[in-house]
Amino acid sequence: MKKNRWKSYFSIFSFLFLLVALFLAGCGSGASETSGKENSKVVKVGFQKGNTLHILKETGFLEEALEEEGYEVQWEMFTHGGALLEGIYSGAIDFGHAADGSGIFAQASGKPLVYVGADEPNPEGVGLLVLEDAGINTIEDLKGKKVAALEGGNHHYLAILALEEAGLSADDVEWVYPEDAGQGRIIFETGEVDALASYDPYLASAEVELDTISFSEGKDYNYPNRTFYYSTPDFAENQPELVDLILETIDEADQWANDNNDEVVKLLSDSLGIDEEVIGKQISRRTFGATEITQEILDRQQEQADKYYETGLIPEPVDVSEVMPIEKE
């Protein structure tokens, strides 16, 4: 009996020890310990193929900058912004990059995230196209027609603004929501829809490879088309200096991209398997750069969120300032 009693005490002690160890392991401040190097930590960064963080990954600038601070970088690839933000919610990544609409949908569904930075405007990176032989010559001709877009995407928002400027509303067309941008291109090319709202490089691909009419090129629909940098609330609160360093390094890679367009075209063409002419068109109409959140940026994002509610894309209005802090002087 005595032997069994000590065995029981030992089991209880082991269990308590395990609980304490698990508690201590979970007390990190946003970046996790890695088994690779003693006293080294890992920052988990999510990226999508073809975006600015993909370029950052290829340059190696972030690894160099964080190594000096005792951190390593763990890259995680996602197929689209919604999936990347799911990585934020779940804690699978600390930091990532996604479009404006993705952030609005996330906030509307009560998911935990925070905006920590923004890209320079890229208004020509989204567009609204029809085929030349479709017999559609003006935006007004789209009334009652089928328009393909990823629901709530930046290009969807642009298309809504274009319709409204022409005196139509979002309800005046039949929206078709493909699973991804690639499928959108296919149903547009095969005539299953009458118009395509899309984003680069898929927009550039359609413009280069098909005979199209653009209802957006050269037009000002008062839409900057910014994409944003997001993090978990824990990472932003507990590692603000690290967030600033990451954003500074992104901007460094962005300036390199502005000065080395030919290398960026080749890098993205090889990675995405897309012709260099298509990538070249995309890069030629974009200026890279990362910036902090300003009141003007917040106001434009709020306008977009309000439009999403007005058109029924989100069920309740949201106040983007709740998750989009502006650094005070």
**Residue range 73-88, pLDDT digits in tens:** 999 999 888 899 999 9
- Please give the pLDDT value at position 79: 84
- Please give the pLDDT value at position 2: 35
More confident residue, 19 or 82: 82
Residue 12 within any structural domain of the chain: no
Examine the fold and report which residue of 214, 242, 273 is the final residue of a domain before the chain moves on.
214
Examine the fold and report which residue of 188, 214, 240 is the final residue of a domain before the chain moves on.
214
More confident residue, 287 or 272: 287
Same domain, 148 and 283: no
Same domain, 102 and 50: yes
Least confidently predicted of 40-44, 200-204, 209-213: 40-44
Give residue-wise pLDDT tens across range 225-265. Answer: 999 999 999 999 999 999 999 999 999 999 999 999 999 99
Same domain, 115 and 191: no
Same domain, 117 and 242: yes
Residue 82 belongs to what domain range?
A: 41-121+225-322
Residues 77-115: b if buried by 16+ CB within 10 A, e if exposed: ebebbbebbbbbeeeebbbbbbbbbbbbbbbbeeeebbb
- Please give the pLDDT value at position 32: 55
pLDDT class of 132 with cuts at 50, 70, 90 = very high
Give residue-wise pLDDT tens across range 278-296. Answer: 999 999 999 999 999 999 9
Residue 299 within any structural domain of the chain: yes
Question: In the chain, how many domains are there?
Answer: 2
Residue 27 within any structural domain of the chain: no
CATH number of the domain encompassing residue 198? 3.40.190.10
Same domain, 197 and 254: no
Residue 128 within any structural domain of the chain: yes
Same domain, 115 and 237: yes
Percent of the chain with pLDDT over 90: 81
Same domain, 236 and 193: no
Which residue, among 17, 62, 64, 72, has the nearest Cα to 39 in the 3D structure?
Answer: 72
Same domain, 276 and 253: yes
Residue 311 within any structural domain of the chain: yes
Same domain, 164 and 116: no
Same domain, 110 and 160: no
Residue 66 within any structural domain of the chain: yes
- Please give the pLDDT value at position 4: 39
β-pairing, 227-231 vs 95-99, is antiparallel
The gap from C-alpha 127 to its chain's centroid, in whole angstroms, comes to 17
Same domain, 318 and 241: yes
Q: How far apart (Å, rounded) are the C-alpha atoms in residues 195 and 168?
A: 15
Same domain, 199 and 242: no
Residues 6 or more apart whose Cβ sits within 8 Å of residue 135: 141
Examine the fold and report which residue of 214, 243, 272 is the final residue of a domain before the chain moves on.
214
- Please give the pLDDT value at position 291: 94
What is the overall mean pLDDT for the chain? 88
Residue 150 within any structural domain of the chain: yes
pLDDT class of 272 with cuts at 50, 70, 90 = confident
Give residue-wise pLDDT tens across range 31-62. Answer: 655 444 444 599 999 999 889 999 999 999 99
Residue 203 within any structural domain of the chain: yes
